[in-house]
Structure 1
Amino acid sequence: MASRTPARRTLTTGLLAAALVLSGCATEVGGRAVAGSTGGTQPAPSKAPAPSKGPVAEPGQCVLGTSPAPVDCAKPHHVEVTKAGTFGPELPAARPEADVIFKAALPECRAEAAKYLGSTDFDASTLAAWMLWAPADEWAAGNRWYRCGVAQLATDGKAVERTGSVKGALTGEKFFEFQVCSAVKPLEAAVKRIACTEPHHAEGLRVVTMGKPTDPLPSPEEFNAAARPVCGETLTKYLGTATREDVVATWRWPSQTEWEQGFTNLTCFAQTDVAVTGTLRNIGTAPLPGG
């Protein structure tokens, strides 16, 4: 049933990083399952990450631009470091491709991101788990460091330069300050990030955890069975009504590769047929904003 879409992996200012463009399948509550069309790609790095001949940022510090050197998070930065680690002998002597590294450590980085941000719902936001690791020359010399981090994503999936920390940013009502919106319908295609003040067809609501990376990828039927009640109930609370027919709950889930890299959840959205220019939150029975 599913049209699998690879996770998009991006480079931000030269640093190897990982960020998910929500992909997989979508379905409408009460409707038939519809396969999502192929969306994101995995572009090759445009250049190698900058060598880290100096210190590498530690948890509680940030990084800016092409250097993994620490900067004060109160100053401009791209990524906040949440965890430091070292790859063991299970990985080859020559630095492997990004997908191998993601599989080895990204699940851990995603778990750290959830703790740091205060919510597992970050895939429904503009905040994402991020990952940095040693350049090839250091790797070959036995210095196999990696860092987990978090970043705020722009509409093109690159990390935003910002000041101040996002620690705890998704707790409670603060989630809506970072809510992701999509210019396309998640029911039909991979999410295309857009500012929620711009015309959009979907607003991120929450995620539903479906297992662990070592578990088998759930079937489409299992994803749908888990999503239908949770996404539907979440939409009702979000809108403030259960009577609207012009806003539906849709959801997307990961590919096999994404699942193995820690994207072990589906993401719920509020979706409209016509583009809206304002939030659907607590809209009740009022007209769609700009619809």
Structure 2
Amino acid sequence: MRRWFAVTVAATAALLAVAGCTAGSGSDGDLTGGWAMIGPAVPFRPASGVCHENLPPDGSMETYRPVPCTELHLTETFGVREATDAPVPPAPGSAQSREAYERCAQRADAYLGGPWREARIGIRVFWPSRAGWRGGARWYRCDVTEADPDGLADRSRTGSLAGALRSASPLRLGCFEPQVTGDTVRAMAPVACTKPHRAEFVGLWRAPDVSYAALNDDRTDSARGCRSAIARYAGVPDDDRVQYRSGWISYQPSRTEWQLGERRVRCFLWFRDRRLTRSMRDAGPAALPVH
């Protein structure tokens, strides 16, 4: 900026000399000629209500390529919030990053019109790059995506997700036909609850604040949490006999979500051999007998 300004002033002085003009020959001494001075640089800040074709590594201006939400896109920005000051952008898993995720997750429910954790939805948080942060950028970006129930894969779509959960929506978790090998769920294909299916979303349970490895290694808490969710959903006694009424499938948060403080586990009732053609919501003990 200094080099450009110096060249400009020098060039202006040269032109004045050629024209035979001096500061004393009618000039007011204002070398700017009435032009407004250039203001201070303003840090880049993304816009809300726009969509993006890809999930960038960060929220830097260099990776910022917004597109209309009517076009095919992978993620949608629904909020940009002020960040607390710090020497560098918050590291994943830090208190600041977890607080930002929690605020984005809370705001997402209002934006979508329903609880996002009970739908095929994911929340993504983007921070400025280190260079942008050094330049004064102090914000974080809240994005929402259409995702698989396990939160590991995002899906491209057209159309905004604003208000997508205010009424019946195929994004809401409902009934599924799972592909299960041993104790591993390979896929969960959504189907109408009036069609033959073997699994149904029943709700969430909040896992304890343990390490991610501990959550994976110990299935006791997941079994207890999801069986209680099944009992509440189906309207059966929450006792030791729930395990003899149906099986269960759980989708815990992804490793990234867990690092950000997400503890809500998605639970499904599941039958290995029996197929249902109705929802088990408030179905009662007769619909889920003890076997």
Output the CA distance in 1 between the equivalents of 2:148 and 2:250: 22
Structure 1 letter corresponding to 2:47:
A
Structural mapping, 1:150-161, within 5 Å: 150-154=144-148, 157-161=152-156
RMSD of Structure 2 on Structure 1 (CA): 4.7
State the 1:269 CA deviation.
1.0
State the 1:176 CA deviation.
5.8
State the partner residue of 1:263.
262
The alignment partner of 1:273 has SS state of coil
**Cα pair distance change 1:137/1:131, threshold 3 Å:** same
Give per-residue Cα distances to partners, 1:230-271, cap 9 Å, x unaligned. 43231459xxxxx99674455566699956734243432122
Higher helix share: 2
State the partner residue of 2:53.
64
State the partner residue of 2:84.
88
State the 1:180 CA deviation.
8.2
Output the CA distance in 1 between the equivalents of 2:256 and 2:68: 35
**TM-score, scaled relative to structure 2:** 0.55
Structural mapping, 1:71-110, within 5 Å: 71-89=67-85, 91-93=86-88, 95-100=89-94, 102-110=97-105
Structural mapping, 1:209-248, within 5 Å: 228-235=227-234, 247-248=246-247
Output the CA distance in 1 between the equivalents of 2:118 and 2:206: 13
State the 1:97 CA deviation.
3.2
State the 1:163 CA deviation.
1.0
Structure 1 letter corresponding to 2:145:
A
Output the CA distance in 2 between the equivalents of 1:234 and 1:126: 19
Larger radius of gyration: 2
Gaps of 5+ in 1: 1-52, 213-219, 238-242, 287-291
2:114 to 119, 122, 125: 119
The alignment partner of 1:108 has SS state of helix
Contact 1:169 1:175 in 2 (8 A): no
Structure 2 letter corresponding to 1:269:
F
1:133 to 122, 127, 135: 127
**TM-score, scaled relative to structure 1:** 0.55
Give the count of matched residue pairs.
218
Matched, 1:205 2:199: no
Contact 1:57 1:63 in 2 (8 A): no
Gaps of 5+ in 2: 1-42, 57-62, 210-218, 237-241
Contact 1:231 1:251 in 2 (8 A): no
Contact 2:120 2:172 in 1 (8 A): no
1:163 to 149, 158, 164: 158
State the partner residue of 2:279.
281
**Cα pair distance change 1:126/1:255, threshold 3 Å:** closer
Matched, 1:272 2:271: yes
Output the CA distance in 2 between the equivalents of 1:178 and 1:80: 20
Output the CA distance in 2 between the equivalents of 1:176 and 1:257: 22
Output the CA distance in 1 between the equivalents of 2:108 and 2:198: 27
State the partner residue of 1:47.
none
